[in-house]
Amino acid sequence: MKCGHVCDSRYLPDLQYRSKCNGRGVRGITNKPFLKDIPKFVKMVEVGPRDGLQNEKNIVPTSVKVELIRRLVSSGLTVVEATSFVSPKWVPQLADAKDVMKAVHNMEDARLPVLTPNLKGFEAAVAAGAKEVAVFASASDSFSKSNINCSIEESLVRYRAVCAAAKELSVPVRGYVSCAVGCPVEGAIPPSKVAYVAKELYNMGCFEISLADTIGVGTPGNTLQSTLSLLRNKVCGLSGAKKKKVCGLSRKQSLLAFVLRFCFLLMGISTVDSSVAGLGGCPYAKGASGNVATEDVVYMLNGLGVKTNVDLAKLKLAGDFISDHLGRQSGSKTAIALGRVTADASKI
């Protein structure tokens, strides 16, 4: 194989790095039949301000959350999950959802969906200026009861009410299926259960369905089984303006997370969820290993010649901003490596 110029953020002779994709990457490989189905563009869904911060023990000031969202949008991310309208009793970190939403709802060039667990949450979100919402159902009954205090079926009843109200107001609804691979209580989740929940969300009107490997136990085999189950059951298509979309989401912070994403790319899936600086982890999922870092995903996609329209340098700065506030190192391997490159270059 002959390789062309790889579009990535690797070390260059002058210790500089590219922060944007030039559209070539491994697409320059001469013999690449296995890459022919990789999308030319991938939409990144940033979940850091909501899922990333919800498990932080120390309350993050509203102003910091708003600034984080602003920086993420400035980096080129067009979908940033801003907050969640849940009971402060269950998630104290997001008690300021109303204030956050009012501060960012008119932000241009970005969609800022919020999580709404029930009709009350939906109404509060809309009143605060939310223009897009998300609902989160589980493929595990045990996890559903520990996470939102109701069974799968009870949660679906709630979400039908949310979707009906959203339809009347022309508010788009995105659907999540948590524990799409495994559950901390029930173990492996049958693909048929994932397909059932996804199909219910599809029938409610969710325009996009995200599969969440909540505790990070996914492998190419079991994750692809869940995805293929959706296709076999005609739950959704992989792309197309008039088709509902399914997008892959893995929460494991490891090399395997990128292997899974590469498998999804080969299937033509072109939407990926991630969290800046690797923030996050569900507070109700014992053993959850956290979210994969957005910086690392963008770096990988750049190397494949897949465009995201995200400026990696600006994204890194957003990750550094929130990591500095939290008083710890970024969870992004890419951010750490690029920080060392900059530090080394300053010594020359």
Give pLDDT tens digits for 77-126.
999 999 999 999 989 999 999 999 999 999 988 999 999 999 999 999 99
Active site residue 282: yes
Nearest-angstrom CA–CA distance, 328 and 138: 31
Helix then strand then coil, in percent of the chain rounded to 5, is 45, 15, 45
Q: Which residues of the chain have pLDDT under 70?
A: 1-20, 22-34, 231, 233-255, 281-289, 341-348
Residue 234's pLDDT is 58
Amino acid at site 169? L
The CATH class for the domain spanning 43-236+244-338 reads alpha beta
Give pLDDT tens digits for 1-53.
333 333 433 333 333 445 667 665 555 554 456 677 789 999 999 999 999 99
Residue 163's pLDDT is 98
Backbone angles phi, psi at 322, to 5 degrees: -75, -35
Q: Which of 163, 179, 236, 282 is catalytic?
A: 282
Residue 36's pLDDT is 72
Residue 302's pLDDT is 95
